[in-house]
Structure 1
Amino acid sequence: MEEKKLDLKTIVGFGLIMLLLLWMIYNSSAKTEAENKAKAKQEQLDKAKKTQIPEQASASVVKDSTISDSVQVAQLKSSLGAFAYSATLPSAKNNFTELNNDVLLLRIANKGGYIAEANLKNFEQFEKGSNKRVELIKDNNASFNLQFKTKDNRVLNTKDMYFEPVVTKEGENQILTLRLKAGPEQYLEYRYTLKKDFMLDFSIRTQGLSQIVDTSKPIDLEWQLKSYRNEKSVSYESRYTDLVYEFEGGKDDKLGQGKDDKETVDDVTYVAFKQHLFVSILLTDTPFKTADLTSENLVKEEKTDTIFTKNFTAKMPLAYKGGELSYNMNWYYGPADYKILNDYNRNLDEVIPLGWGIFGWINRFAFIPLFTFLAKFLPYGISIIVFTIIIRLLMSPVTYKSYLSQAKMKVLRPEITELNEKYKKDPMKKQQETMKLYTTAGVNPMAGCLPAVMQIPVFYALFQFFPSFFDLRQQSFLWATDLSSYDVVYRFPNGIRIPFYGDHVSLFPILASVAIFFYMKMTSGDQSMAAPPQEGMPDMSKIMKIMIYISPLMMLVFFNSNPSGLSLYYFISNLITIGIMYVIKNHIVKEDKIHALIQNNKTKPKTQGRFQRKMQEMMEQAQEQQKNKPAGKK
């Protein structure tokens, strides 16, 4: 019995020992597994740190970017050379530095030192009330980079490297200094100074880099921007979106008007990426020796609702002086407003397409001052109407002269027809007698053409004025919500688009077309009766009958996508012209009075003017040469 008890205790003891051993093995295994997981995770983190180059974090994240790992510093130095020093410095708390005034908000990226966002506070995209600010730069649609070569044969780009930012103030001016450092006193510096308006000072300079950077070759500056669509009509905005530049001490030119384009230009003082009614400009006090400029059209089809209109690029070399770089520049981000740009006195008004020669002079010295004055006291729609009345009244003497000439020619038509029949076999004699009749009657056959020619500069200047006058943007009148863009009274459903007409119906072009139809109906009879048909020449009366219908149709189609302010002008202008012509025809110029005046002129002795005398001599010489020709050679 004693032996059995001993065996039972032994079994129980062994069982307890086994349980204890199992418990110890389990705990050891769990601990080892946890340690292995933690160790593996740490190894992954260490590996990531060693291979990863510091990247720009979100603006809302605060990080200390001080690099203490000697292996990581060595890796950076292998790729950045001496500029690896900049990566070892603490960055700003945010990865963007903000400059802000009443009209402009800028965010400058510490990585690259370029303007990453340009926000215009007081302007909205597309239509008033959209609550979407005009942003010339956002979401990486623009870049600014300097590419240079170091003496150890590295090619570096500033867009890939970190700048150290310092913000200070001078009075009300905000100053941001960004330095890309190769050492405590060796750096490339960008300096931004934001004042009260849309223009900010910008400078690029180096200090102590002559031993690091290869100064035998210039630094390549590249500025690129994809222009955002900001207006209601993408096709119309693209038409007026182009690249403008000034070169050779004051000359200006543009490229990219509706097509892809590129140009290489010397001695460039500014480059402007113009987005119809807004513009981004880079100016320099020291002209760029050369500039490679490109413009790529991004609006391939009018029916496509695109985000961007053009892609602009400008590449310019920056030359070293004494082994260092020093350029004073300016940035302008703001409206393409003639008054604002002209006030800078740096030839920036040439960015606005007001027309060349006399057309631009009319806009600069007449139309812009007059309209600006009226808009101080009147709503913009009423200002256009008053503006139109003033122009038509000033042009009314020209209209009177033109109609008076037509009336005189109409009275003379029977006599001219008689001469045509009498001398139909002798064209030279017919011309001589016709000129003699004009002289004795006191009629100048060119008098009807000259007034029409005189109106061409006014017509073209107005055609340039309305699409370019910034003040009309998002100003409403009657059913038009934006006088700088087309008005819409009906939009075709399901994306229907009529070729050459568009996807909508504008009412102002319809009214203008109706008005021009009645005006041409009123005057076409007088014009066709003014001069009889000449042998071998088309019958003008038939052409005028066709033009009565073609001209209004062309205006209807063409003006449907043009600014409603321009269509409003031509509607009011044609109404006023109809009124002026009615008064002239029925109360001022009457055929019986004209006939009596011509008969009276015939009785008076006439002296030929220089032009008429010259024409007479030329016809006589031609007639004499005709007589002297041998019969076989006639």
Structure 2
Amino acid sequence: MEEKKFDVQSLIGFILIGGILIWMLYNNSFDEQATEAQQDTTEQVEQTPVAAPQTFTQETVVDSAAVDRAQRELGAFGYSATLPSATENTTTISNDVLELKVDNKGGYISEARLTQFETYNGNPVYLIKDGNASFNLNFTTTDGRVLDTENLYFEPEVSRSGNNQILTMRLKVSETEFLEYRYVLKPGEYMLDFSIRSQGLNRVLNPSRDVSLDWRLKGFRNAKSIEYENRYTELIWEYGSGSDDYLGHGDFTDDADDNITYVAFKQHFFTSILLTDTAFPRGEFTSRNLVQDEEVDTVYTKEFTANLAMELKGGELNYNLNWYYGPTDYRILNDYDRNLDEIVPLGWGIFGWINKYIFIPFFSFLASFLPSYGIAIIVMTIVVRIVLSPVTYKSYLSQAKMKVLRPEINELNEKYKDNPMKKQQETMKLYSKAGASPMSGCLPALMQIPVFYALFQFFPSAFDLRQKGFLWADDLSSYDNVLDLPFYIPFYGDHVSLFPILASIAIFIYMMMTTGQTMQQNQQPGMPNMKFIMYLSPLFMLVFFNNFASGLSLYYFTSNLITIGIMLVIKYVIIDEDKIHAKIQENKKKPKKQGKFARKMQEMMEQAEQQQKKNKK
């Protein structure tokens, strides 16, 4: 009986085991069909080595003690700490210009690499790497806990919508209640769609406390000259109705409470930007200079922080934003039509207008067919100088007239040396009769200032010049060192750049031709040595431009060289000083009708002279 009973029990066991096996085979077959159907709608990213999206069962068996501990520490968000996604994993999404890695912990981008560019020493360009950046939401729960998303774990899911890659990161309170970051990366774009929204957290988040968004970044050094790169590294934000502001180049803190619509951490030629459709009501910004000693090789340039307030609506968060990780290129930023062109420092007022509507389009046109960017700079400089040559002609003509009148002015100075008022009055009469004015030479020079300043702003901001060589310069956006010094000279550096030397020589020759002789003739006893002051301008160019972009020095060298040539042509071919002298003599014989201003000035001087005579009596 025992043996028979054993056989029956064994048979029953075999039947049960067989039934279980059949049931498992049936379920596996059903799961495979479901997986195939799911792959039709949700695909894994194939272009890059993306970390496989973790698919977690809803009935994960966890340690009850760990659950209790997580709930005690995190409250409702303790659920997120019990999921298999609570690990130090990353998910990668990329296109042909940008590669991003996003951490489970914090749900933020832990690495951002621009795949089309290299640093000055040939390394990849990273805007985010090795913990140099952080992104955190700080919020208060209804049970009084203050939590930071950077310490909590998000669950990732990667999918596609057409050619767009979508990464969804969810910080879960339950399977249907969560805080979500959603990244959408499009082909060939530096700009990502990004959204922050919550679902079902109105019972968890404290509605009386705003959520605080904290974004921090330490900018990597990407250029040879730390000092030059740091000069154009700054924090910029847009507020109100399209206005923008920025922090200075040292250690600064500022705040704004007028609808902030974007914040940019600009690193000269590369920029990280956070944009929002729903304006942040207020924010606080800080910038800290990390370069303490320019002689020491430095990893970082500046550290930026932005603290932005986010408002809950109906107890939930719902913000549509964008991330931009890419070049500080005017054309790329301007194409987004989000006022991002203001991030590129082209100059304020008329200077910026000249760059935007004249120099940037014209330089792009020249660079499109000329063999090198250096030649494009030279050609653009030649065109600018030719366009301004009429102004140069008027300035030189005025100087020639003053030179012709110099003997007569000296006679008046000697004749009325004891009567300054009479001397000035007779000098003005001479100018009026001769049709000359000392101010007529200054006005043409002043007219050129907007053009010169606009170009001074243009070349350091021209992204196209980055790592483009010309002659001995291997990078027109950086200095052209032809000699490395074994020591460091304050303000000058540890190298010798050739283009600033050539530009200084050209400026010195130009100043000698235009003002050198006049300065020597007008030198007054007891006054500063004007000749020495004239030497300072080339000296400043030589010293301070040693670390500037070689493209800017090439422009100044070419510009002054062309100006010297134009002035030589004007002096020896166009202007005849004998004819000018004859013309002045004819003008002096003709009755000259004075304008109201000149007549009023003469009357005032005559009254002053009469009053001076009465006082002497």
Residue number in structure 1 paired with 2:207: 215
> In terms of Rg, which structure is larger?
1
Residues 62 and 408 (structure 1), Cα distance of their counterparts in 2 relative to 1, 3 Å cut: closer
Q: C-alpha displacement at 1:614, in angstroms?
A: 4.0
Check if 1:154 corresponds to 2:148: no
Percent identity reads 64
Going from structure 1 to structure 2, the CA distance change for 1:467 and 1:557 (only over 3 Å counts) comes to: same
Distance 1:111 1:613 in 2: 81
Who is 1:240 aligned against?
232
Name the residue aligned to 1:480. Answer: 473
CA drift of 1:361 comes to: 1.3
- Of 357, 371, 380, the residue aligned with 1:387 is 380
Structure 1 equivalent of residue 324 of structure 2: 332
Distance in 1 (alpha carbons) for counterparts of 2:351 and 2:421: 40
1:187-219: per-residue Cα shift (whole Å, max 9, x none)? Answer: 111111111310111111111111111111100
* Paired letter, 1:500: F
Contact 1:472 1:483 in 2 (8 A): yes
Q: What's the TM-score once normalised by structure 1's chain length? A: 0.85
Distance 1:123 1:579, change over 3 A: same
8 Å contact kept, 2:87–2:105: no
**Matches of 1:532 and 1:93 in 2, distance apart?**
80
SS at match of 1:177: strand
Shift of 1:551: 2.5
- Aligned mate of 2:415, from 410, 422, 447: 422
- Give the Å deviation of 1:320: 0.7
Aligned to 2:363: 371
Determine which of 412, 418, 428 is the counterpart of 1:435.
Answer: 428
Determine the C-alpha separation between the residues in 2 that align with 1:242 and 1:623: 58
Whether the 8 Å CA contact 1:249–1:269 is kept in 2: the answer is no
Kept in 1: contact 2:396–2:441 (CA 8 A): yes
Measured at CA, do residues 580 and 334 of structure 1 come closer, stay the same or move farther in structure 2, by a change above 3 Å? same
SS in 1 for 2:125: strand
- The answer to whether residue 181 in structure 2 is matched with residue 176 in structure 1 is no
Task: Give the corresponding residue for 2:98.
Answer: 104
* 1:63/1:93 contact within 8 Å kept: no
1:609 CA displacement: 3.2
String of CA shifts for 1:97-119, please: whole Å, max 9, x gaps.
11111111111111101111110
- 8 Å Cα contact 2:140/2:146 also seen in 1: yes
Deviation at 1:618, TM superposition (A): 3.6
Give the count of matched residue pairs. 562
- Name structure 1 gaps, 5 residues minimum: 1-58
2:565 maps to 579
Contact 2:485 2:495 in 1 (8 A): yes
Runs (4+) off by over 4 Å:
59-67, 531-534, 624-631
Distance 2:355 2:266 in 1: 20
The residue identity in structure 1 corresponding to 2:175 is P
Q: 2:315 is matched with which residue? A: 323
1:626, distance to aligned residue in structure 2 (A): 4.2
Contact 2:281 2:309 (C-alpha < 8 Å) held by counterparts = yes
- For 1:265 and 1:275, locate their aligned partners in 2 and report how far apart those are by CA, in whole Å: 22
Q: What TM-score does the superposition give when structure 2 sets the normalisation length?
A: 0.87
Q: Partner letter of residue 247 of structure 1?
A: Y
Task: Assess, with a 3 A threshold, how the Cα gap between structure 1 residues 256 and 533 changes in structure 2: closer, same or farther.
Answer: closer
Given that 1:178 and 1:190 are in contact with CA atoms closer than 8 Å, whether structure 2 keeps it comes out as yes
Q: Taking structure 1 as reference, are residues 614 and 107 closer, same or farther at Cα in structure 2, changes over 3 Å only?
A: farther
Q: Structure 1, residues 248-291: CA drift from partner, whole Å, max 9, x if none?
A: 1111111131x100001122111100001110001111111111
The answer to whether the 8 A contact 1:270-1:281 is kept is yes
Q: Is the 8 A contact 2:52 2:91 kept in 1?
A: no
> Where does 1:132-151 land on structure 2 (aligned, <5 Å)?
132-151=123-142
Distance 2:596 2:142 in 1: 77
Q: For 1:455 and 1:601, how far apart are their aligned partners in 2?
A: 29
Matches within 5 A, 1:457-472: 457-472=450-465
Q: CA RMSD in A?
A: 2.1
Which digits, 9 at most, give the CA deviation of each residue in 1:108-165, with x for residues without a partner?
11110111111000000114xx1x2100000010000001111111111101111111
Q: Is the 8 A contact 1:106 1:118 kept in 2?
A: yes
Stretch moving more, 418-427 or 408-417: 418-427
Q: Does the 8 Å contact 2:66/2:82 carry over to 1?
A: no
Query: For residue 181 of structure 2, what is the amino acid of its counterpart?
Result: Y
CA gap 1:478/1:437 in 2 versus in 1, 3 angstroms: same
Please name the residue that 2:344 is paired with. Answer: 352
Separation of aligned partners in 2, 1:563 and 1:468: 10
Q: How much does 1:315 deviate? A: 0.3
Kept in 2, the 8 Å contact 1:413–1:532? The answer is no
Tell me whether 1:566 sits opposite 2:588 in the alignment: no
Residue of structure 1 in register with 2:76 after alignment:
82
1:489-514 CA-partner distances (Å, limit 9, x unpaired): 11013xx1011111001111111122
